[in-house]
Structure 1
Amino acid sequence: MELQGSTFTLRGWFDGDEESLQKHADNPKVSAFLLDRFPYPYSLSDAITWVAFMKKQATQTNFAIAIDGQVCGGIAVDMKVDANHNEAEIGYWLAETYWGRGIITEAVQLLTRYAFETFGIIRVQAGVFGKNTASMRVLEKAGYVKEGIMRNALIKKGVVMDKHLYAILKPE
């Protein structure tokens, strides 16, 4: 499955993506506001493990952001279960070289539309680190609305931060 943006493609993960993934992910500014499961430093071994894991996706929910054939970021929806089975959580990152170009906003819009159309969900949400104002702007430009602030909900490198909750509902 591929989703075409104006200057990028959202696509699956392939053998050969490891070097560009490692190159673009190995940046402290990229990992600063991501969950701790996103390693820093980001080694080639991390990239090899990730690509191998992603190639086994039964249902595609995690996409590489490819620009000129190189992996420059990632974006995914995490499908919820149980009483939350009609919602997903979106997460993303992009190489610093490409920040400020509207790429991630467009990618969020593409993946959100894909999630609504493909999975029959009615809500997509995102939790944003309180100091990540750039990501908040991305979500707002993509049509998401801030629903609230969860105080002292996150800790990154010993710093306690609020978590801002954004969401978008399926258009009726």
Structure 2
Amino acid sequence: MADTGARPHADVHIAGDGFLLRAWRPDDLDALLRHADDPQVPRGLSERFPHPYTRADGEAFLAGHVVDFRHPVFAIEIDGEARGGIGVRPHAGERGHAAELGYWLGRAHWGQGHMTRVVSAYLGWVVPALSLRRIEANVLDTNPGSARVLEKNGFAEEGCRRAAIQKADGLHDLRLFGRVWPG
């Protein structure tokens, strides 16, 4: 969806242990390219995250042509540089109380607990900010690290969509995780 220019969450800053969540900025392009153009990063992500990750891909993302920046989609800043991203895509209608969570982090920061803390801080803000009651996330079968991040944040595995995703190396299962907040 194209960016309308309206970014209602542009002033949000969520500080955590070793990171800052904030709106993406045009000057994040070089950092985005540095961390996104790694063949290991998109292995567990949707095809909206390409490889190779080109300058044109980064420019399209930052212009709002890949995700809708009216939703809370933030850069994960570590040591003063955008090194990943996190966001939710809210559902509508009878599912309007729920949203789908997605995130990624540059490989240099994997295995250090950053994503577990990032997800915790983000959920602590986004659930009340959007009056959500349910967050769900899909995890590719080749991404057990992401499943652990969700489990550490109170998500339960709710099912598996067998052979749901076609990647270059074949069909993959998609694991569904969910977390519900009382009303």
TM-score normalised according to structure 1 size: 0.93
Number of the residue aligned with 2:24: 13
**Which residue, 74, 77, 88 being the options, matches 2:88?**
77
**Which residue, 143, 157, 173 being the options, matches 1:146?**
157
Q: Say whether 1:57 aligns with 2:75.
A: no
Following superposition, the deviation at residue 164 of structure 1 comes to 0.7
Following superposition, the deviation at residue 143 of structure 1 comes to 1.3
Number of the residue aligned with 1:3: 14
**Residue pairs, 1:46-125, within 5 angstroms:** 46-53=57-64, 57-58=69-70, 60-125=71-136
**Which residue, 53, 59, 64 being the options, matches 1:42?**
53
When the two structures are aligned, how many residues end up with a matched partner? 171
Distance in 1, matches of 2:16 and 2:114, equals 8
Counting aligned pairs with the same residue, the percent is: 35
Query: Where does the alignment leave 5 or more consecutive residues of structure 1 unmatched?
Result: none
- CA-based RMSD of the aligned residues comes to 1.7
Distance in 2, matches of 1:47 and 1:92, equals 16
Query: Where does the alignment leave 5 or more consecutive residues of structure 2 unmatched?
Result: 1-11
Distance in 2, matches of 1:156 and 1:109, equals 29
The aligned amino acid for 2:87 is A
TM-score normalised according to structure 2 size: 0.88
